C-alpha cells in the first residue's frame, strides 16, 4: 500500500502561502490563473543562471554544452511526462496560447482551405478560439461549435452530426477553466479519429492536476503551460505527432531553425527545432523539468484525488450560502468552482474577498462566449491545488457568508 501523502509537509514548500493580504492570512484560490512555485523550481533556475548560463546549441564551449544538455534534457522530461513517443514531438513555447497559435498558423496555414471546418466547443478559452478565428479569416475555413448543456457538459449527442466530411480539426479543452467540466478526451479523440479528423487538446487546466498520456488519449496535438503546474511563467510545450509535425512549415523565422541560408532562400531543420527560432527560454525549460520532477514526486493520481475531494467539499460549503449559484456539473470536475451570487457583480464580490485575504478571480475568465451562453456578465472562480486545505475552504465560506450579508 502506498504511503499516505503528507500534505502539510508539502504545503511548507510554499512559503508564499504564509503571506498576508490586507492584514489577513492569505488564502490563495487563484490556481487556475497561475500556481505557486516550490524551492525545487526556484533552485533550478538559480543554479542554471549561477553555474551554466550560456546560449544553447550554437556554442562549442563548456557552458554552452552544459546548457544544451539541460535544455534538451528538459525536452526529454516533458516527453516522458505527457507520454510522447519521442522528445522530437515536443516543441517548447511560451505556453498554451503560443502552442495553439503555432498549430493554427503553421498547420492551419498549410492545410486549411476555403470550405474546411474547424470544430470547437462553446466552452473554449479565448486561447483556443481567437487563433482559429484568425486562421479561418485567412484561409476561408469556417468554425463550428459543440454546444454546452445547461449543466455545463458538452452536448455529445450532437457530436457525430457535427463531425462531417468538411471538418479537418477538432480542438477542445480538457478541463473548462470556468465550469470545471472534465471532458472525456479519450472518447472525443476516438470519435474524431473515426471520422478522419485531427484533434487538439487544450491541457492547460489538466496537465498539472491528473495523469495524462497522449498516446492513451489519442490526440494529435496537446498544449499546456508550465506556470499552471508549479513551473515558471513564459514556458510551455506543444506535443504533436511526429508525422504531422514533419509536414508543418516553419512559423517563426530566424536563427537556430535553419540548416542553410542564402540571400534568396533558406532550408530548415527537422522538428522540433524548426519551430524554435531564436534564443529559447532556456531557464524556463529547465524550471519546467524541475516542476515535473516535483509533481511526479507527489504523484498525479494523488494530486487528482486531493483536488477532487477539496473541490467537492468547497461545493458543499458554498451551496449552503444564501443567494449563491454554482456553475458547472454536479459530479466529478476539475479543481475549479465557478459561482455567481445575487446582487453582486463578480468584480465586486472578488474585491470584497480580497479585503479579507481571499484571492479569487472574477470576470469572464477569457470565456466571453460561454458567459453569454449562461446569460452572465461573468463569474467568480475559486481554483485549488494540492497545497490548499479544507480549513482554507471553510474560511472562504465564512468570508462569502459575510459577503452575502454585505450585498443583501
85 occurs within a structural domain: yes
Confidence of residue 407 (pLDDT cuts 50, 70, 90): confident
CATH of the domain at 149: 3.40.640.10
> 147 and 96 share a domain?
yes
User: How does pLDDT run across 289-311, given as a tens digit for each residue?
Assistant: 999 999 999 999 999 999 999 99
> 178 and 252 share a domain?
yes
**Residues 61, 51 contacting (CB under 8 angstroms):** no
Does the global pTM surpass 0.95?
yes
The 3-state DSSP class for residue 87 equals: helix
70 occurs within a structural domain: yes
125 occurs within a structural domain: yes
Share the mean pLDDT of the chain: 97
Confidence of residue 408 (pLDDT cuts 50, 70, 90): confident
User: How does pLDDT run across 64-73, given as a tens digit for each residue?
Assistant: 999 999 999 9
CA distances from 50 to 46, 47, 61, 81, 291 (A): 6, 5, 16, 27, 19
> 208 and 314 share a domain?
no
Up-side HSE of residue 371: CA atoms within 13 Å toward CB?
21
Nearest alpha-carbon partner for 93 in 275, 269, 327, 216: 275
* b/e 295-328 (16+ beta carbons within 10 angstroms → b): beebebebbbebbbebbeebbebbeebeebebbb
> 103 and 211 share a domain?
yes
In the chain, what's the furthest Cα-to-Cα distance? 71
Confidence of residue 58 (pLDDT cuts 50, 70, 90): confident
354 occurs within a structural domain: yes
Output the nine-digit C-alpha cell for 272: 522540433
> 215 and 180 share a domain?
yes
> 136 and 187 share a domain?
yes
2 occurs within a structural domain: no
35 occurs within a structural domain: no
- Residue 90: how many other CB atoms lie within 10 Å: 26
User: How does pLDDT run across 76-123, given as a tens digit for each residue?
Assistant: 999 999 999 999 999 999 999 999 999 999 999 999 999 999 999 999
CATH of the domain at 26: 3.90.1150.10
230 occurs within a structural domain: yes
Last residue of a domain, which of 253, 274, 297?
Answer: 297
> 161 and 115 share a domain?
yes
Helices (H), 195-326: 214-217, 242-247, 282-298, 300-319
> 25 and 51 share a domain?
no
User: How does pLDDT run across 352-381, given as a tens digit for each residue?
Assistant: 999 999 999 999 999 999 999 999 999 999
Last residue of a domain, which of 245, 276, 297?
Answer: 297
Count of residues making up the chain? 408
**Residues 25, 35 contacting (CB under 8 angstroms):** no
> 270 and 380 share a domain?
no
Last residue of a domain, which of 239, 263, 297?
Answer: 297
Average pLDDT over residues 200-228: 98
User: How does pLDDT run across 273-288, given as a tens digit for each residue?
Assistant: 999 999 999 999 999 9
> 160 and 263 share a domain?
yes
> 74 and 205 share a domain?
yes
Domain that holds residue 274: 42-297
Bridge partners (DSSP) listed for residue 362 = 380
Q: Residue 1: is its pLDDT beyond 70?
A: no
* Active-site position among 20, 219, 230, 366: 366
268 occurs within a structural domain: yes
> 24 and 66 share a domain?
no
Instruction: Please state the domain count of the chain.
Output: 2
Confidence of residue 2 (pLDDT cuts 50, 70, 90): low
State what percent of residues in the chain have pLDDT above 90.
96
Which residues, 6 or more positions from 66, have their beta carbon under 8 angstroms from its beta carbon? 51, 52, 54
Give yes or no: 366 in active site.
Answer: yes
Amino acid at each position: 500500500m502506498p504511503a499516505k501523502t503528507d500534505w502539510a509537509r508539502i504545503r511548507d514548500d510554499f512559503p508564499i502561502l504564509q503571506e498576508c493580504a490586507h492584514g489577513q492570512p492569505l488564502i490563495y484560490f487563484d490556481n487556475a490563473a497561475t500556481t505557486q512555485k516550490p524551492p525545487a523550481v526556484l533552485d533550478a533556475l538559480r543554479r542554471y543562471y549561477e553555474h551554466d548560463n550560456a546560449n544553447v546549441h550554437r556554442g562549442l564551449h563548456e557552458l554552452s554544452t552544459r546548457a544544451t544538455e539541460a535544455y534538451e534534457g528538459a525536452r526529454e522530461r516533458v516527453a516522458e511526462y505527457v507520454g510522447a513517443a519521442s522528445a522530437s514531438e515536443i516543441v517548447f513555447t511560451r505556453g498554451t496560447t503560443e502552442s495553439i497559435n503555432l498549430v493554427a498558423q503553421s498547420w492551419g496555414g498549410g492545410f486549411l482551405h476555403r470550405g474546411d471546418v474547424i470544430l470547437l466547443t462553446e466552452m473554449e478559452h479565448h486561447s483556443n478560439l481567437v487563433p482559429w478565428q484568425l486562421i479561418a479569416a485567412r484561409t476561408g475555413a469556417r468554425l463550428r461549435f459543440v454546444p454546452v448543456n445547461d449543466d455545463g457538459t458538452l452536448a455529445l449527442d450532437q457530436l457525430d452530426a457535427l463531425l462531417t466530411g468538411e471538418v479537418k480539426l477538432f480542438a477542445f479543452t480538457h478541463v473548462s477553466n470556468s465550469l470545471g467540466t472534465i471532458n472525456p478526451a479519450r472518447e472525443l479523440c476516438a470519435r474524431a479519429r473515426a471520422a478522419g479528423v485531427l484533434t487538439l487538446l487544450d491541457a492547460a487546466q489538466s496537465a498539472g492536476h491528473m495523469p495524462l498520456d497522449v498516446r492513451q488519449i489519442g490526440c494529435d496535438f496537446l498544449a499546456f503551460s508550465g506556470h499552471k503546474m508549479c513551473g515558471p511563467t513564459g514556458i510551455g510545450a506543444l506535443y504533436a505527432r511526429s508525422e504531422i509535425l514533419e509536414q508543418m512549415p516553419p512559423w517563426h523565422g530566424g536563427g537556430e531553425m535553419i540548416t542553410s541560408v542564402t540571400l534568396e532562400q533558406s532550408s530548415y531543420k527537422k522538428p522540433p527545432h524548426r519551430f524554435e527560432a531564436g534564443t529559447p527560454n532556456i531557464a524556463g525549460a529547465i524550471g519546467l523539468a524541475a516542476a515535473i520532477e516535483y509533481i511526479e514526486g507527489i504523484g498525479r493520481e494523488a494530486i487528482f484525488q486531493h483536488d477532487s475531494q477539496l473541490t467537492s467539499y468547497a461545493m458543499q460549503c458554498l451551496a449552503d450560502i444564501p443567494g449563491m449559484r454554482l456553475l458547472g456539473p454536479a459530479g466529478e470536475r476539475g479543481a475549479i468552482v465557478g459561482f455567481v451570487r445575487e446582487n453582486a457583480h463578480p468584480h465586486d464580490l472578488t474585491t470584497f474577498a480580497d479585503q479579507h485575504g481571499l484571492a479569487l478571480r472574477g470576470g469572464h475568465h477569457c470565456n466571453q462566449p460561454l458567459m453569454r451562453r449562461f446569460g452572465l456578465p461573468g463569474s467568480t472562480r475559486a481554483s485549488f491545488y494540492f497545497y490548499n486545505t479544507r480549513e482554507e475552504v471553510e474560511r472562504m465560506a465564512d468570508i462569502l457568508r459575510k459577503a452575502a450579508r454585505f450585498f443583501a
